[in-house]
Amino acid sequence: MISKILWLPINILQLVLVVVWTLFCGIFGMLFALATNPTYSHRIMGYYIFSPMILAISMVRVKAKGLENVLDEPAIYASNHASQLDIPIICTRVNRPMFFIGKIELKKIPVLSQYMKIVGMIFVDRKNRERAMASMRTAIQDIQGGKSIAAFPEGTRTKTGELLPFKKGVFIIAKEGRIPIVPIAVIGSAKALASGSFFMRPATVELRILPALKDDAFFNMSIEEMANHTRKLIQQEILKG
């Protein structure tokens, strides 16, 4: 309890800096995207500008393994999700224009929603199956057009540390478009910032990028088998610690 009280002023400063930096990057990112190319600008913003500073403010160090498994071709990077820091953690090590499939509720957030629209992020209405399927078809076209997508198949951040069941959405996209899936295990991000918390702590997070799943044996699986197989690979890495 004492340590939390002593750390509180630092946490408040961190939160203020994160908010200010996010707003700045959102506004600058929109202008950059309009002046250049949205895909190029998003790659620069995510890899070189936004993510490194967020992790520096959060006092998070990232150790990456398996960078050789990052593909030159468009792919879906599927990761576990335990912290709000998972996005900058992935973006700061995977040097690709990483686009995200966001829930439609994000459209209500000022600046963020405008930035996501301008650079070409995909919104999914999970409550409307027809619209959700239309979003998935858009995602297939975008990936085949050169975009890579980072996805959290659990659908939400785990609050217990236990890997949640994987939803089928990204695997439908992968199967229908024969798009490679690159499994990613993020280990230790909840120690830096737990789900539902704003209390940040210095931490070293390990990012493990596994070999891509893109052979016929994988694509010949059912959607459920593809999801379970990917989940099993990520679960094995988490259990290794």
CA angle 43/48/52 to nearest 5° reads: 125
Structure tokens given for 191: 């120690």
pLDDT of residue 39: 86
What 3-state class would DSSP assign to 153?
A: coil
Determine the pLDDT at residue 93: 92
pLDDT score at 197 = 83
Residue 1 has what pLDDT?
A: 46
Which residues of the chain, if any, have pLDDT below 50? 1
| Domains with residue ranges and CATH for the chain | 2-240 (3.40.1130.10)
Instruction: Provide the pLDDT for residue 3.
Output: 65
CA distance 33 to 48: 15
Confidence (pTM)? 0.90
Per-residue confidence (pLDDT) for residue 205, from 0 to 100: 97
Q: pLDDT tens digits, residue range 72-97?
A: 999 999 999 999 999 999 999 998 88
Evaluate whether 93 touches 162 at the Cβ level (below 8 Å).
Answer: no
Q: How many CB atoms lie within 10 A of CB 151?
A: 25
